[in-house]
Chains A and B, each alone.
Chain A
């Protein structure tokens, strides 16, 4: 196989596809559409000011997610007057689920969102980075600046909560949803 040095990401790496993904993450983290817009905007602006030295698109995306995490934490710090975010990353719970939408299975979607929104902040962030953004554990550790062991334990607890609240309660209803989303 011959390899020439080209730009492999030229077609699949466009900032306009990146913004909605950051926005979705921010929505899942803060549970408020308008706040999520602001956080995403601020993250992109901050990314511009600091300008990355990363050239690999996946690393670049990770870097933007890390900035989004910082912006979100700054926001929490400013609005709660609490010094040590790390302590309440384990305990902070948001008020409710995210934006409305009209889907056939909206009830299930709402339930999932409500459970995710009720997770402690740290667990919510790890879960969404792994499940929505398909980041590896090592990447999540880097984005959130926490050890890989913490990523694994938070993820484990988050999934245990989802399992308990969603699957135990409605095994029959959950089964067709599984078939449908596959």
Chain B
């Protein structure tokens, strides 16, 4: 039986870009059709060949240019190092200062990976304001975003402090905020009724991209539309919020 899987789908499988149900569909096809299995194997093989043909150590091994170009390069690299350090708030001492850090206890998510947590050291910290960034439609991650929000808001309420949580969704994470696609509308309703300080922000660029692909994007009423997730995240970080990538 010849499967009707598209080449794009098989490539996405090889690149681990599929959602769980899609993955199951491909795995079934691999089992059913040896031709599909061979095809997936060949695609994976090309990926390995490309990686092998452009090895990083080879780029490093070639000697740097000499003369003024070498100096220009070194100065540029040094400036870049400093600038990136500055941009990233590269101040270990400050980062360790307890005043700039939030201490909430978050339960490990179902998928096991610890969340990435970021805040700036060169701005006045808003210790109880947390932005949760969701860019995946993995149901476990969607649920984890709401779990984190709930945990932080409940803890803050018990501690008698006023916390603000903003869940920013872009890319496929946008599904959480789509009226036609969100699997968690009921929970979002219940959470926003319980906590006035929980807000939802949709990435305008992601919305535009889905619309460009011909989709009709309807957002849940709780969602505010920002120009882009990146600009929203940057703005909140500057305001002293803590960023957590779900």
Contacts and interface: CB of A to CB of B under 8 A. Distances in A.
Interface of A: 1-10, 13-16, 19-21, 23-24, 27-28, 33, 37, 41, 44-45, 47-48, 51-57, 59-60, 98-99, 101, 108-109, 112-113, 116, 127-128, 130-132, 136-138, 141, 147-149, 152-153, 155-156, 159-160, 162-163, 166-167, 174, 177-178, 181-182
Contacts of A130: 15
B61 to A, nearest CB: 8
Interface of B: 7-8, 11-12, 15, 17, 42-43, 45-54, 56, 58-60, 62, 65, 72-73, 76-77, 79-81, 83-84, 87-90, 92, 95-96, 100-108, 114-120, 135, 171-172, 209, 212-213, 230-231, 233-234, 237-238, 242-245
Given A55-B89, A137-B17, A109 B80 contact: no
Given A3-B117, A181-B52, A27 B105 contact: no
B80 A5 contact: no
Given A20-B59, A27-B54, 19 more contacts: A3-B244, A4-B117, A7-B88, A7-B118, A8-B117, A27-B59, A41-B73, A44-B80, A51-B87, A54-B234, A55-B118, A56-B118, A113-B53, A148-B213, A153-B8, A159-B47, A174-B49, A177-B49, A181-B49
Contacts of B244: 3
Contacts of A37: 65
Contacts, number: 184
B43 A163 contact: yes
Nearest to A166: B49
A90 B13 CA distance: 24
B108 to A, nearest CB: 4
B63 to A, nearest CB: 11
Contact of A162 (B50, B115, B119): B50
B209 A152 contact: no
A76 B163 CA distance: 51
Interface SS of chain A: helix, strand, loop or mixed? helix
26 contacts: A1-B108, A1-B114, A2-B105, A3-B104, A4-B101, A5-B242, A8-B116, A9-B88, A21-B56, A28-B54, A41-B72, A55-B89, A56-B118, A56-B243, A60-B84, A99-B58, A109-B52, A132-B54, A137-B17, A138-B135, A147-B209, A152-B11, A160-B7, A167-B46, A178-B45, A181-B51
